[in-house]
Amino acid sequence: MKIGLIGKEENPNTVTVTKRIIEKFSSDKTEWLIENQLAGLVGVNGYNKVEIPKLSDIIIVLGGDGTFLGVARLVGDLETPIVGINLGSLGFLTEIQIEEIDSLLEDIIKGNYTVEDRIRLTVHLHRKEERIAQYNVLNDVVINKGALARIIELETFLNDEKLSTFRADGLIISTPTGSTAYNLAAGGPIVSPKLNCMIITPICPFKLSNRPIVIPDSYKIKTFLHSQKGDVFLTLDGQVGISLMEGDRVEVKKADHSLKFIKPKNKSFFHILRTKLKWG
């Protein structure tokens, strides 16, 4: 089995954990593909990070949810499943704790795990009828104003039927996986990642009647920016930002390829909620 290993090198625990993993779980049946910078820190041969998803049977991510989202973009349309070990803070995506690493790797090597399909979103940005950008995201698509901007107007359609013109600080379009990210902080619902849906959550809407809404993932969402008084940005998974202009059109739909998400058999989504949100 070829196991890719990508970690956040800035975290002091990453090198320690990586050394322990390769010392304890290296064998004739297991080959570790460690990205170049991390490999140099632990004194082994490394691989180009971009090539690891193509070469690996699975990928282990060391870090927080931000590191996980970056690796998810690297995986792209490939079928390579990934699992996250939490070296950060909260960690909804990197749900494995350091003390659980040994049992996780033993199960992975034995094939004792399940794989969930997590939907992703494809985002197209149009300006003057020209498509100027396209991305896939795992968590969310956010249109929001800069610090000094006034309320913005976002005319939003579902399958060409008008939903609303939101006058708000912004709009979040989230997957079920991303429902526990910015969507949750903005008052949106927590949604099981096994549901086939998307969530639209206005950020601080001018009308209190504008509430979050859950829609089927078969819908296409179109949002037009009709007013711009200050900076307005399109942010993808909280990591990629694009400045918007008045008249820009953002189109969002379910991506053609899902992300393969490794789930240890003893951890459910609701177990994660109880643990991370301290529900008792």
Q: Give catalytic residue positions.
A: 65
Angstrom distance (rounded) from CA 273 to CA 63: 19
Q: Which helix (H) or strand (E) holds 151?
A: none
Identify the CA nearest to 174 among candidates 155, 165, 157, 187. Answer: 187
Identify the CA nearest to 250 among candidates 90, 120, 143. Answer: 143
Sequence-separated (6 or more) residues with CB below 8 Å from residue 217: 119, 196, 197, 198, 254
Supply 268's token pair: 């459910």
Supply 19's token pair: 């050394």
CB 74 within 8 A of CB 82: no
